[in-house]
Amino acid sequence: MVIEVKPIGSSTDSTEERVESENSTSPSVDWRDFASNTTLHGLRYTVQKELSIPRRAIWLLTLCASASFYTYSATISVGKFMSRPTKTVITQLTPTGGLKFPAVTICNLNKFMKSKVDLADEDENFAKMGFNVSGCSETRQVRGNLTCGQALLCAYEWYGTVLVNGCNETTRQNIIKALNHSSERLFNEEEFLSKYGHDMASMFVLYCRFMKEDICSDKDFVPILTQYGLCHTFNSGQNKPVLHSLLEGPDLGLNIVLDVQLNESTLSEFSTGLKVIVHDQNTFVNRHSGFNVLPGTHASVAVKLRKVSYWYNTQEVIPFYIITKSMRAL
């Protein structure tokens, strides 16, 4: 048996073997080997020498663009998560049976009708139409040629001397003294407003529609007395069941034409026309929340019912629902 021994430091290795050993341990070889075998799609095509340089450059640009978009999206998502946003849900609903239509109150800005105020006590319609209110007989001796309506209007307003012809300060004070002479309440302001104010039948012009097809009349309006005079409410729920609106739109609410009766003006609130208040059936009629419709004009009003419900949690969530109804006042 022959044993060959080579001393350490022998230079018998070939130059090619040393070069191959050095290349196998360089970082560039390790990166190329990783890129060629990784499951990351497309990375291998950027290092393969078999592919052309333009093709490898396109793959490199595509990978860089994808990585940039991912980084941007991740940054935005993390930012939203850290800001703890409030979740708000907005839906538009229409109940199966329709939405409850609001009450519509219409008031003539003129408090008293001139024809009623000027009606003489001797007229056959005076007592027949209920104009012989409390205070008429008690003031007969001191009001001179004034009718009962003129006398009460003269004493009712501090500037009655301007409103009523023949009403001077002396006559006004005599009427007030006659009304205050008895311990009983001779002057009933509510009765005076309701009897001498505008009634719906006189303002009605034979056109009233609800939901475009349902015909309404002055009988569908309930008189209601406010501090500013006599008003009339549609869909109050007092004389008939509350109406519901199935669809929305300017023609599918309340459409009505009314006569303002300019020739009947005596005492108005700054102007002539109508005051319209849209409200719930169970709420107080506040004339300050309404809007005016001037003579010879029309108004189309959209109404939104907003129902808000909320509860408290680790993160406050407030959902609300907006349901839209429409009506038109003419």
pLDDT of residue 310: 56
Higher pLDDT, 176 or 9: 176
- Give the rounded percent of residues in the chain with a pLDDT score beyond 70: 77
Mean pLDDT of 201-209: 90
Mean pLDDT of 210-229: 88
Closest CA to 325 of 280, 284, 287: 280
Mean pLDDT of 221-243: 89
Rounded to 10 degrees, the C-alpha dihedral 256/272/234/196 comes to -120
Report how far residue 23's alpha carbon sits from residue 15's, in angstroms, rounded to the nearest whole number. 13
pLDDT tens for each residue of 75-107:
999 988 888 777 777 776 667 777 889 999 999
**Structural tokens at position 242:** 């509350």
* Residues 143 and 135: beta-carbon distance below 8 Å: no
The lowest-confidence range among 90-104, 144-158, 262-276 is 90-104
Domain boundaries, the chain: 29-67, 99-111+207-329, 114-195
The lowest-confidence range among 79-88, 131-140, 265-274, 305-314 is 305-314
pLDDT of residue 29: 61
Contacts of 157 (CB under 8 A, 6+ apart): 163, 267
Mean pLDDT of 22-46: 65
Is the predicted pLDDT of residue 180 greater than 80, yes or no? Answer: yes
pLDDT of residue 97: 74
pLDDT tens for each residue of 283-324:
888 877 888 998 888 888 877 766 666 555 444 443 433 333
Mean pLDDT of 2-12: 49
Report how far residue 291's alpha carbon sits from residue 110's, in angstroms, rounded to the nearest whole number. 15
- pTM, to two decimals: 0.63
Higher pLDDT, 319 or 254: 254
Higher pLDDT, 147 or 24: 147
- From residue 247, alpha-carbon distances to 34, 94, 175, 243 in Å are 67, 8, 55, 13
Is the predicted pLDDT of residue 267 greater than 90, yes or no? Answer: no
Report how far residue 203's alpha carbon sits from residue 79's, in angstroms, rounded to the nearest whole number. 63
Mean pLDDT of 270-286: 86
Mean pLDDT of 47-55: 78
